[in-house]
Amino acid sequence: MTTGKKAFYSEVDFILRIAGEGGEGVISCGELFAQAAARTEYHVFTFLTYPAEMRGGFAMVQVRVRDWTIYSLGSRLDCLVVFNQPALDRTVRELKTTGTLVYDPEAVQLPAELEASALPLPLSRLSKEVTGGTLGKNIVALGALGYLVEMEQEVLEGLVRDRFGAKGGEVVERNLAALRAGYAYAAENSWPRILLMADLKPKGPQYMLLSGNEAIALGAIVAGCRFAASYPITPATTIFETLTRLFPLVEGRALQMEDEIAAVSAAIGASFAGEKAMVSTSGPGLQLMTEQLNLASMIEVPLVVADVQRGGPSTGLPTKTEQSDLNLAIYGVSGESPRIVLAPTSVDDSFYQTIRAFNLAERYQLPVIMLTDQSIGLRKATVRMPDLSHIIQLDSHVARTKVKIPRPEFINLIDRAEPTAKDLEDYRRFRTTADGVSPIARPGTPGGQYLATGLEHTESGHPDYTPENHLQMSRKRFRKMEVIARSFDTNPIEIWGRPDAQIGILGWGSTAGAIREARYLAEERGIHVRHMHPHTLSPMPHRQISNFLVRLEHLIIVEENYTGQFAHHIKAHFGAKAIELHKCEGIPITPEEILKGIEKVAGIIDEYSIARL
Amino acid sequence: MSTALHDYRRKQIRPVWCAGCGNYGVLRGVEKALKRLEVPPEQTVVISGIGCSGRFSHYLNTYALHGTHGRALPIATGVKTSRPDLTVLVVGGDGDSLGIGGGHLPHAARKNVDLTFLILDNNTYGLTKGQSSPTTPWGCVTKTSPYGSPEDSLEVLPILLAYDVSFVARTSSLQIEEMARIITEAMRHPGFAVVHILSPCVTYPVLAWKALRERLAPLPDNHSLVDKATALQLAYTSEPIYTGVFYSILKPTLDARLRQLHESALKRYSSRGKEPTIPSLMERFL
């Protein structure tokens, strides 16, 4: 085992899925399990899918526990817990033949050909016996699972107390009874232990268990955001919910508005007033917000927009994942409006890219759109707690230095440039500068009064439609984009895999982990692959992508949509030929699916054929 | 240090309004109100949408945001929520406030956000040269209703009263003194204050100066500011068209509500022995 590969080969890699019907508590069972696992030395990664309705429909949660960094939700299951027949029928084929199935014998008929070992657990009966109803089924399951992975009962009881404490003693006692019933049932029936999670010492640095959406909310707070406006939309709502819960504690303010247009308007107003402001939404909401995004570009106010993408078009698949808002994010407005588009790759990355988004927005005074998706937004993963004593607040006039990508041990925060006393002598808000950025006066500053108008305007902000002025101001606005693109040269982006590999994979956003694992799987089969995953999709890190492309024989572009939006973008910018690997099923692409693509391409190389797949 | 009346005017930009436009009168009225209240220009933010009224924010020497059509209210809500120390004035036309932006009015009223909102109503889309607007009377001939408008016009004041806007007034640009007084009162009012200003367009006179002058009358002296039922009755009266303050009640502003909620959240948090610091917020997720 070489150190370089250690991140992939691990001793413990356990994948659990709990499946049932919406309203049965499947998700909270999985979340509690994940939380318990996160308190050990293991890394945790969850993925969940639930129906758009409050009750009924298929719901499942998948938890992966590993002794090393986890990049994806994994492929086949080690353990499957099913609450009912449809859940079994839908998921049993994904269980390893060596895996373990836990099922309610009163609700589920086992398939005749099942190879995995099956453990009956009468969820409804046990729940009724100890709680008087079936609502405790999920906690019974949690108890039995705890036994199965040799988790200490006290650890689980502590979690149940934390979770239900606010609902009063009676609720806590009922749930504890259910938990103990499940644990005892497994013990009495001499269940095997399939994983050892007891007595594991806690990790060195502290780890939070966050969903991608929570990571964005916390990142925003760390970045100094103190205003958020939003309109509820699945699967983005938990960003705003987290902010409404935490903002009062840091003197921030969150407003739920009457629609997305109002939400983005309020955020523009707050930013104009001098606050760091954000909105959070999903595709259909971003579509409404585009009305105001070009106002933000035109009057040059910093603004951060988090778009947690879901399946489209129209109402589409509100609770499923897709990467299909890229075109909207980059191009979707009237006129030409510079904005930055970022794509976090994981829960952890959502936290740091959010800080970066605020830094970029403040530094360059334009909207920054962050594209995550349902699969990152709603899954939970362990995120290393940053060392906040190392935060460096950059003075607005020093902020002209490059904006570095924040890391746990190094976080820079940047505030917008404000005019100096000298600037105010003859204040021109939209003064043409070398990098296109001109100081913003904060309302309340005497002598800084200016007009911010969506009309084309002069350096002073006065309306002006003359040809020379429109050209000059368009140049000013787009100069910022050129400066940003150039700044990437000193901000190296990560490329993985052997430099001499003939096959390259380019992806964006949440597919990073699956591609990474596919690369390892390919290497096991002797196929070398290089993988590049830019965080910034607009403006493009041109030089780095060109350098990456120029050494390749074959390029595969992976994305979760139907038409290949990122591939179009790459082809348009670099004239590159690419084999496109799309998945448009509302669920994340798996390492195996990508591996299949890699193997096909490798086969083509063998045959010296250059035909498209 | 007091500011002279002319210091409220941004002199570098010349108004684009037609000679005789009612908006000049409103601009004068606002300057007088700001002067009376002694709000420094740098503490004032004027926010407007699109249309002739949208240009309003250009001509005052304050911080000003001339945004998109219909969105002045939510933008102003964001400004005032994040910076309660600023005086925020919002200006919209009848199309801006009741057509494209009509959906924002009830929500600004529900929040009772401390803004002064002037609706400059000329019963037409003037900047785009005379199309019918939400307040164009039924049967009226305009560019987009060449055979007469097929729709009823909105009754502005009853709508504001139904939304429970906490300060509702009407005036016209024919009465600059009364208007300055009403705008001053509206700006002094803690909460969402709306002033409906009849401001005729001279070029597309759907609302004509002369006819308007004859129909205006001040509200009865004995009208109670908290009597909503009577206010509604007077608001629905079209002969005469009453001007003055119809309704004015005190209820907590958005700022006060948020302050109170946040204080109680902080108290709950610190009662559990926790400091409201960012690391302690993060520890909640361990």
The tens digit of pLDDT for each residue in B103-154 reads: 999 999 999 999 999 999 999 999 999 999 999 999 999 999 999 999 999 9
Q: Which residue of B has its CA nearest to A227?
A: B82
Same domain, A466 and A433: yes
| Interval A494-515: pLDDT, tens | 789 999 999 999 999 999 999 9
Residues of chain B in contact with residue A221, where contact means CB-CB under 8 angstroms, are 278, 281
Q: Is residue A612 part of a domain?
A: no
Which of A346, A380, A414 is the last residue in one of the domains? A414
ipTM above 0.90, yes or no: yes
Report whether pLDDT(A37) > 90: no
Predicted model pTM: 0.91
Note whether A366 and A505 are same-domain residues: no
CATH number of the CATH domain containing A72: 3.40.920.10
The tally of domains found in chain A comes to: 4
In a domain, A224, yes or no: yes
Write down the pLDDT at residue B214: 93
One-letter-per-residue 3-state SS of A520-551: HHHHHCCCCEEEECCCEEECCCHHHHHHHHHC
pLDDT at residue A444 greater than cutoff 70:
yes
Does A249 sit within 8 Å of B266, measured CB to CB? yes
Do A96 and A241 lie in a common domain?
Answer: no
* Weakest-pLDDT range from A190-199, A469-478, A515-524: A190-199
Average pLDDT over residues A148-175: 86
pLDDT value at position A398?
A: 56
Domain identity same for A358 and A463: no
Whether residue A5 has pLDDT greater than 50: no
Q: Note the pLDDT tens digit of each residue in A517-537.
A: 999 999 999 999 999 999 999
Between A47 and A209, name the one with better pLDDT: A209
What per-residue confidence (pLDDT) applies to A613? 40
- Final residue of a domain: which of A414, A429, A446? A414
How much is the pLDDT for A8?
45
Percent above pLDDT 90 for chain A:
68
- Spatial strand order in the sheet of A340-342: A253-256, A227-230, A277-281, A303-309, A367-373, A340-342, A536-538
Which residues 120-139 on chain B approach chain A with CB closer than 8 angstroms? none
Is position A482 within any domain? no
Asked if B286 and A273 come within 8 Å (Cβ–Cβ), the reply is: no
State mean pLDDT over B231-237: 97
The pLDDT of residue A609: 42
Average pLDDT, chain B: 95
Q: Do B265 and A249 count as a contact with CB atoms less than 8 A apart?
A: yes
3-class SS letters over chain B = CCCCHHHHECCCCCCCCCCCCHHHHHHHHHHHHHHHHCCCHHHEEEEECCCHHHHHHHCECCEEEECCCCCHHHHHHHHHHHCCCCEEEEEEEHHHHHHHCHHHHHHHHHHCCCCEEEEEECCEECCCCCEECCCCCCCCCECCECCCCCCCCCCHHHHHHHCCCCEEEEEECCCHHHHHHHHHHHHHCCCCEEEEEECCCCCCCCCCHHHHHHHEEECCCCCCCCCHHHHHHHHHCCCCEEEEEEEECCCCCHHHHHHHHHHHHHHHHHHCCCCCCHHHHHHCCC
Whether A136 and A159 share a structural domain: yes
Task: For an interface test with B, give the residue of A451, A458, A464 to mutate (most B CBs within 10 A).
Answer: A451
Q: For chain A, what is the mean pLDDT?
A: 89
Whether residue B104 lies within 8 A of chain A, CB to CB, comes out as yes
Domains in chain B (CATH in brackets) are 5-251 (3.40.50.970), 252-286 (no CATH)
Same domain, A333 and A440: no
- Among B43, B61, B278, beta carbon nearest to A221: B278
Quick one: closest CA in A to B43, which residue? A444
Report the residue of chain B nearest A389, measured CA to CA: B279
In the sheet that holds A43-49, the strands lie side by side as A117-120, A95-103, A77-82, A13-21, A58-66, A43-49, A380-384, A207-211
**How far is the C-alpha of A92 from the C-alpha of A367, rounded, in Å?**
45
| The pLDDT of residue A400 | 56
Whole-number pLDDT of residue A612: 40
Domain boundary among A391, A414, A437: A414
Determine the residue among A211, A258, A391 to mutate to test chain B binding: the one whose Cβ has the most chain B Cβ atoms within 10 Å. A258
pLDDT tens sequence across A364-411? 999 999 999 999 999 889 888 888 887 887 766 555 556 677 887 788
Domain match, A407 and A265 both: yes
pLDDT at A492 over 70: no
Would you call B45 and A443 a contact, using CB atoms and an 8 Å cutoff?
yes
Chain A residue numbers with beta carbons less than 8 Å from the beta carbon of B106 are 258
Substitution target in A453, A457, A458, A464 with the highest count of B β-carbons within 10 Å is A453
Strand partners, A253: A227
Q: Which residues of A touch B262 (CB under 8 A)?
A: 247-248, 251
Tell me which chain B residues have a C-beta less than 8 angstroms from the C-beta of A251: 262
HEC string of A74-91 equals CCCEEEEEECCHHHHHHH
Same domain, A37 and A103: yes
Domain encompassing residue A335: 208-414
Size of interface A-B (CB pairs under 8 A): 177
pLDDT on residue A431? 96
- Answer yes or no: is A58 within a domain: yes
Same domain, A177 and A243: no
Does residue A480 form part of some domain? no
- pLDDT greater than 80 at residue B79: yes
- For residue A486, is it within any domain? no
| Interface contact B271, partner A, CB < 8 A | no
Per DSSP, A182 falls in state H
Burial class, A272, CB count within 10 angstroms (exposed 0-12 / middle 13-18 / buried 19+): buried
Q: Is the model's pLDDT at A103 over the cut of 60?
A: yes
Domain of A545, CATH number, reads 3.40.50.920
φ and ψ at residue A506, rounded to 5 degrees: -120, 130
Partner-chain contact B107 A218, CB within 8 Å:
no
Residues of A in contact with B271 (CB under 8 A): none
Residue A199 lies in a domain: no
Query: In terms of domains, do A120 and A139 share one?
Result: yes
Lowest mean pLDDT among A70-79, A250-259, A349-358, A595-604: A70-79
pLDDT band, very low/low/confident/very high, at B284 (cuts 50, 70, 90): confident
Residue A355 covered by a domain = yes
Give A558 or A388, the one with higher predicted confidence. Answer: A558
Min distance B160 CA to chain A CA atoms (Å): 17
> Does A182 share its domain with A220?
no
Residues of A with Cβ-Cβ distance to B1 under 8 angstroms:
none
- Measured distance CA(A222)–CA(B95) in Å, rounded: 41
Considering only alpha carbons, which residue of chain A is nearest residue B83?
Answer: A273
> Same domain for A441 and A538?
no
CATH at A364: 3.40.50.970
